[in-house]
Amino acid sequence: MSKCAIVGINWGDEGKGRMVDLLTEKYDYVVRFQGGGNAGHTVVNERGKFALHLLPSGIFRDGVVNILGNGVALDLENLYDEMQTVISQGVDITPANLMISDRASLLLPWHRDLDGLEEARLKDKKFGSTKQGIAPFYSDKYQKKTILAGELFYPEHLKEHLKDLIEWKNLTLTGVYGAEAVKFDDLWAWFEKYGSFFKDFIKNTGKVLKDADKSGKSILFEAQLGSLRDLDYGIHPYTTSSNAIAAYAPVGSGLPSLKLDEVVGVVKAYSTCVGEGPFVCEWFGEEADKLREAGGEYGAKTGRPRRVGPIDIVATRYGVECQGATAIALTKMDVMSYMEKIPVCTKYELNGELTDDFPFPVTLNECKPVIEYMDGWNCDISGIRKWEDLPENARKYVEYIEREIGCHIKYVSLGPSREAYIER
């Protein structure tokens, strides 16, 4: 399988980073194609525990080239800090193993400021943004009001472009939000600092990938978040501002005509969701606290407690369809070992009728989950490495999900560390 995307099937935080870290062994290139530093992938391997935000998860493997494609929200300031942290943990990051697309747009400090200002204006109607500037960034990108990383190589042009953008952006900052105006000299100092550091990393990565593809190299595309947060197919407006689906991988990576050979969708064995928005199968109270604690469900970027609930078959089946998944990695099965009965949300009830279909987002708040129970396995399964050794009820749970979502579960993850999984 030479070209594979690893994507989230649910609301994000399914354990994609953990799966990319595992599967990078088979790949020469790992590419991030959308999103920014607003989510976090947690990776645990022989080098330690890492919270990655923008760096591709292949950064830990010798010989793997990691690329930040044109579709990402390139926050050089956060990327710089993240690199310093990972380097201080003993990982080499150089222009040989990290490359940045010259066509990636820069997320500037004002995007983060605007994110915070808008959430404050919305008060109790806020979207639950991580305030990393992602929504203002993508709005500007689609208005063609961003600076491409490659413009750093043309300082005279860049100065003029920046002056025009500052004039435009200050209208919003001061006029709409009553905030302070941005001054050219301050922003130019920011460009000089980060521009000089990153210049050697910025390349025509579309050409790098094209050449790699031609010479038969294998490429892994790493998504952020999940189907239900996809800008077009998710729970609008509580989505992210980019496309988290595999179909966007070629566009956001620099190989627009590429056809993927495989799409590995990552599904969590139960549901979690960070931030605002409808979450049909949500648990509250003691039941929720117990699952949250068992799964360590706190945001990698924000530390926010994640909302939790049983697996949602309706949403997961929809997520699998959106991603065109060819195989599934089911993660965190080990977390459910304490449950005597395993709850499953099998259908939604909407206006007195049962449905299997994921409905129009506006109606989600009216949907009620239909919960059925399966027998639990009631023992620690985290050390098991063979399918036959899993307790029968655990195998039944996997086979049930597989049947209901219509996609083969190829990997069952039973712990955060690299080797804690079963391949079927």
User: Which amino acids are annotated catalytic?
Assistant: 13, 41
Residue type, 330: L
Kindly state the smallest distance separating residue 213's Cβ from ligand GDP, in Å.
Answer: 26
**d(Cα 142, Cα 148) in Å, to the nearest integer?**
13
* Residue 40 binds to ligand GDP (criterion: CB under 6 A): yes
| Min dist. Cβ of residue 135 to ligand GDP (A) | 19
Burial class, 34, CB count within 10 angstroms (exposed 0-12 / middle 13-18 / buried 19+) = buried
Residue 18 · residue 421 · CB < 8 Å: no
Distance, CA of 200 to CA of 215 (rounded, Å): 24
Are the CB atoms for 388 and 352 separated by under 8 Å? Answer: no
Nearer residue to ligand GDP within complex by CB, 108 or 420: 420
Nearer to ligand GDP (CB atom), residue 3 or residue 332:
332
Element (H, E) at 191: helix 184-198
Whole-angstrom distance, CA of residue 345 vs CA of residue 364: 14
For ligand GDP, which stretch binds (CB under 6 A), given 41-49, 100-108, 129-137, 156-164?
A: 41-49
Q: Which of 50, 34, 153 is nearest to 93 (CA)?
A: 50
Site residues (CB under 6 A) for ligand GDP, limited to 391-420: 413-416
CA distance 69 to 56: 10
Residues 289-328 as x/- pattern, contact with ligand GDP by CB under 6 A: -----------x----------------------------
C-beta of residue 17 within 8 angstroms of C-beta of residue 42: yes
CA dist., res. 339 & res. 310, Å (int): 11
- How near is the Cβ of 260 to ligand GDP at its closest, in Å? 19
Q: Does 229 bind ligand GDP (CB under 6 A)?
A: no
Q: How far is the CB of 108 from ligand GDP (least distance, A)?
A: 25
Residue closer to ligand GDP, measured from CB, 3 or 16: 16
Choice between 232 and 380, CB closer to ligand GDP:
380
* Beta carbons of 128 and 103 less than 8 angstroms apart: no
List the x/- string, 328-367, binding to ligand GDP by CB under 6 A.
---xx-xx--------------------------------
Report helix, strand or coil for 175. helix
**Shortest distance (Å) from residue 51 CB to ligand GDP:** 8
Would you tell me which residues interact with ligand GDP (CB under 6 A)? Answer: 8, 12-18, 39-42, 44, 300, 331-332, 334-335, 413-416
